[in-house]
Structure 1
Amino acid sequence: MRTVLQRVTSARVVVAGEVVGEIGPGLVALVGVTHDDGPEEVARTVRKTAELRIMPGERSVQESGGEVLVVSQFTLHADVRKGRRPSWNAAAPADVAEPVVQAVADGLAERGVGVATGAFGADMAVDIHGDGPVTIVLDTSA
């Protein structure tokens, strides 16, 4: 699993003109799932996302009362080593990825973090108001 965390002052996801997820200060978590990601990768991603001390005052999003906007992002697993067209072979298919992304959102909520989500598989406009800028890449395979 590969996740890009970006600290934000606010963020939202719009689908077909409607806001489907919105947060105030916190993190946007763009989550890319591979074929073999499961509970262990979910747990590690949830723990790191909740506990990394990347919010103002060297606090975590959990400690600061911040929120997390979780958005599925299969393109994080693009292979661009050959040619000009990315390969998506490393990205899990929707029926595998969707429950894994949902498990990340659910795991954060279980830790008391406010969570909003995008709409899996939809054409989303993601409005991110970066703070810092602070951007961290979490890769469970590393």
Structure 2
Amino acid sequence: MKVVLQRVLKSSVTIDGEIVASIGNGIMVLLGIVNDDTKEDINWLTKKIVNMRIFNDDNGVMNDSILDVDGEVVVVSQFTLHASTKKGNRPSYIRAAKPDIAIPLYESFISQLEIDLGKKVQTGIFGADMKLALVNDGPVTIIVDSKNKE
């Protein structure tokens, strides 16, 4: 399971011209799932996200977590995070989990993140053609992969 975390001042997800998710200060999470991802990956990753100190404290140093700043979170499924670009110029997405595996893990990830965060998480719609808008704050963009814990 891989995520791209983007610290944002605001972010939204639009599908067919309709805004389906919108947050202010917080994190946009792009989530990629592979076939061998498990509940263990979800638990490790959601705890990592809510405790990661990527927000500035009163001294302008990144010492605060999303919990410390009472920020919001939006999660968007992103199978292209697992693209293989080794051969040719057309990425291969063979590592990305198919919907029958990915959707239950995506939903479980969101549920666990809401528990760890202590509030509702905004989301896109799995598999939809989404348009994302965000103001990246910093910019701060962090990639975390549950398969690289050590």
TM-score where L is the length of structure 2? 0.91
Distance 1:113 1:138, change over 3 A: farther
* Cα distance in structure 1, aligned partners of 2:33 and 2:130: 18
Counterpart position of 2:20:
20
Q: C-alpha deviations, 1:69-126, integer Å up to 9, x for none?
A: 1000000000010011111111000121112122221112112144100011000001
Please tell me whether residue 59 in structure 1 is matched to residue 64 in structure 2: yes
Please tell me whether residue 141 in structure 1 is matched to residue 144 in structure 2: no
Asked if structure 2 preserves the Cα contact closer than 8 Å seen for 1:7 and 1:26, the reply is yes
Between the two proteins, what is the percent identity of the paired residues?
Answer: 43
Amino acid at match of 2:85: V
Please tell me whether residue 79 in structure 1 is matched to residue 81 in structure 2: no
Q: Following superposition, which runs of at least 4 residues in structure 1 exceed 4 angstroms of deviation?
A: none
Q: CA deviation at 1:50?
A: 0.5
* Cα distance in structure 2, aligned partners of 1:83 and 1:72: 25
Asked if structure 2 preserves the Cα contact closer than 8 Å seen for 1:13 and 1:20, the reply is yes
Asked if structure 2 preserves the Cα contact closer than 8 Å seen for 1:10 and 1:24, the reply is yes
Amino acid at match of 2:14: V
TM-score where L is the length of structure 1? 0.96
Asked if structure 2 preserves the Cα contact closer than 8 Å seen for 1:68 and 1:113, the reply is no
Asked if structure 2 preserves the Cα contact closer than 8 Å seen for 1:61 and 1:113, the reply is no
Amino acid at match of 2:20: V
Amino acid at match of 1:26: G
Query: Gaps (5+ residues) in structure 1?
Result: none
Query: Gaps (5+ residues) in structure 2?
Result: 58-62
* CA root-mean-square deviation: 0.9
Counterpart position of 1:39:
39
Larger radius of gyration: 2
Q: C-alpha deviations, 1:6-36, integer Å up to 9, x for none?
A: 0000101000011111111000010000001
Counterpart position of 2:107:
102
* Cα distance in structure 1, aligned partners of 2:84 and 2:119: 33
* Cα distance in structure 2, aligned partners of 1:11 and 1:76: 19
Amino acid at match of 1:119: I
